[in-house]
Amino acid sequence: MPLEPLSQKDVEDRLTELPGWSLDGDSLTRSYRLASHFAAAALVVHIAQVQEELDHHSDLTLGHHTVLLTVNTHSVGGAVTEKDFELAGRVEELSSGHGAR
Protein backbone atom coordinates (compact mmCIF):
# COMPACT_ATOMS: atom_id res chain seq x y z
CA MET A 1 0.00 0.00 0.00
CA PRO A 2 1.51 3.36 -1.00
CA LEU A 3 2.13 6.01 1.61
CA GLU A 4 -0.38 8.84 1.73
CA PRO A 5 0.18 12.33 3.12
CA LEU A 6 -1.65 12.95 6.39
CA SER A 7 -4.10 15.82 6.68
CA GLN A 8 -3.15 18.88 8.70
CA LYS A 9 -5.65 17.83 11.40
CA ASP A 10 -4.26 14.28 11.55
CA VAL A 11 -0.72 15.66 11.93
CA GLU A 12 -1.78 18.08 14.67
CA ASP A 13 -3.69 15.34 16.51
CA ARG A 14 -0.74 12.93 16.32
CA LEU A 15 1.71 15.59 17.53
CA THR A 16 -0.07 15.59 20.89
CA GLU A 17 1.44 12.11 21.38
CA LEU A 18 4.98 13.43 20.82
CA PRO A 19 5.87 16.19 23.30
CA GLY A 20 8.67 18.39 22.01
CA TRP A 21 7.88 17.71 18.36
CA SER A 22 6.32 20.36 16.16
CA LEU A 23 5.24 20.94 12.59
CA ASP A 24 7.50 23.29 10.66
CA GLY A 25 6.10 23.74 7.17
CA ASP A 26 5.68 20.22 5.80
CA SER A 27 8.07 18.56 8.26
CA LEU A 28 8.07 17.25 11.80
CA THR A 29 10.94 18.74 13.79
CA ARG A 30 12.54 18.14 17.15
CA SER A 31 15.65 19.49 18.79
CA TYR A 32 17.46 17.55 21.50
CA ARG A 33 19.94 18.98 24.00
CA LEU A 34 22.55 16.59 25.37
CA ALA A 35 25.26 16.76 28.02
CA SER A 36 28.15 16.85 25.54
CA HIS A 37 29.05 16.93 21.87
CA PHE A 38 30.06 13.27 22.12
CA ALA A 39 26.62 12.34 23.52
CA ALA A 40 24.95 14.27 20.71
CA ALA A 41 27.10 12.48 18.11
CA ALA A 42 26.25 9.11 19.66
CA LEU A 43 22.54 9.91 19.40
CA VAL A 44 23.00 10.80 15.72
CA VAL A 45 24.59 7.40 15.08
CA HIS A 46 21.72 5.60 16.80
CA ILE A 47 19.13 7.63 14.89
CA ALA A 48 20.92 6.77 11.64
CA GLN A 49 20.69 3.07 12.55
CA VAL A 50 16.93 3.36 13.04
CA GLN A 51 16.62 5.26 9.77
CA GLU A 52 18.38 2.42 7.98
CA GLU A 53 16.20 -0.17 9.68
CA LEU A 54 13.02 1.68 8.63
CA ASP A 55 14.46 2.67 5.22
CA HIS A 56 13.33 6.20 6.04
CA HIS A 57 16.03 8.86 6.05
CA SER A 58 15.53 12.33 7.45
CA ASP A 59 17.71 15.38 7.90
CA LEU A 60 19.94 15.32 10.98
CA THR A 61 21.95 18.30 12.17
CA LEU A 62 24.64 17.83 14.79
CA GLY A 63 25.50 20.87 16.87
CA HIS A 64 27.77 21.44 19.85
CA HIS A 65 25.43 19.76 22.36
CA THR A 66 22.38 19.44 20.14
CA VAL A 67 20.74 17.28 17.52
CA LEU A 68 18.06 18.68 15.22
CA LEU A 69 15.86 16.21 13.37
CA THR A 70 13.64 17.22 10.43
CA VAL A 71 11.34 14.47 9.19
CA ASN A 72 9.10 14.20 6.14
CA THR A 73 8.50 11.68 3.37
CA HIS A 74 10.30 12.67 0.18
CA SER A 75 8.47 10.08 -1.93
CA VAL A 76 5.14 11.91 -1.41
CA GLY A 77 6.49 15.37 -2.14
CA GLY A 78 7.88 16.10 1.29
CA ALA A 79 4.60 15.71 3.19
CA VAL A 80 4.13 14.07 6.59
CA THR A 81 3.04 10.41 6.62
CA GLU A 82 2.57 7.62 9.15
CA LYS A 83 6.15 6.59 8.42
CA ASP A 84 7.36 9.94 9.80
CA PHE A 85 5.48 9.38 13.05
CA GLU A 86 6.90 5.86 13.29
CA LEU A 87 10.43 7.27 12.99
CA ALA A 88 9.71 10.09 15.45
CA GLY A 89 8.38 7.63 18.01
CA ARG A 90 11.44 5.41 17.69
CA VAL A 91 13.73 8.43 18.06
CA GLU A 92 11.88 9.47 21.22
CA GLU A 93 12.58 6.04 22.71
CA LEU A 94 16.26 6.34 21.79
CA SER A 95 16.68 9.87 23.06
CA SER A 96 15.51 9.07 26.57
CA GLY A 97 18.27 6.48 26.84
CA HIS A 98 20.83 9.14 25.90
CA GLY A 99 19.71 11.66 28.49
CA ALA A 100 18.41 14.04 25.84
CA ARG A 101 15.98 16.77 26.74
The domain containing residue 58 runs over which residues?
A: 21-72+79-97
Residue 33 lies in a domain: yes
Residue 55 lies in a domain: yes
Per-residue pLDDT of the chain (101 residues; tens, 9 = 90+): 578 999 999 999 999 999 999 999 999 999 999 999 999 999 999 999 999 999 999 999 999 999 999 999 999 999 999 999 999 999 999 998 888 88
Residue 1 lies in a domain: no
Residue 50 lies in a domain: yes
Residue 11 lies in a domain: no
How many domains are there within the chain?
Answer: 1
CATH number at residue 28: 3.30.1360.20
CA–CA dist 61, 66 (Å, integer): 8
- Helical residues (DSSP H) of the chain, grouped into ranges: 8-15, 37-54, 82-97
For the question of whether the overall pTM of this predicted structure is more than 0.85, the answer is: yes
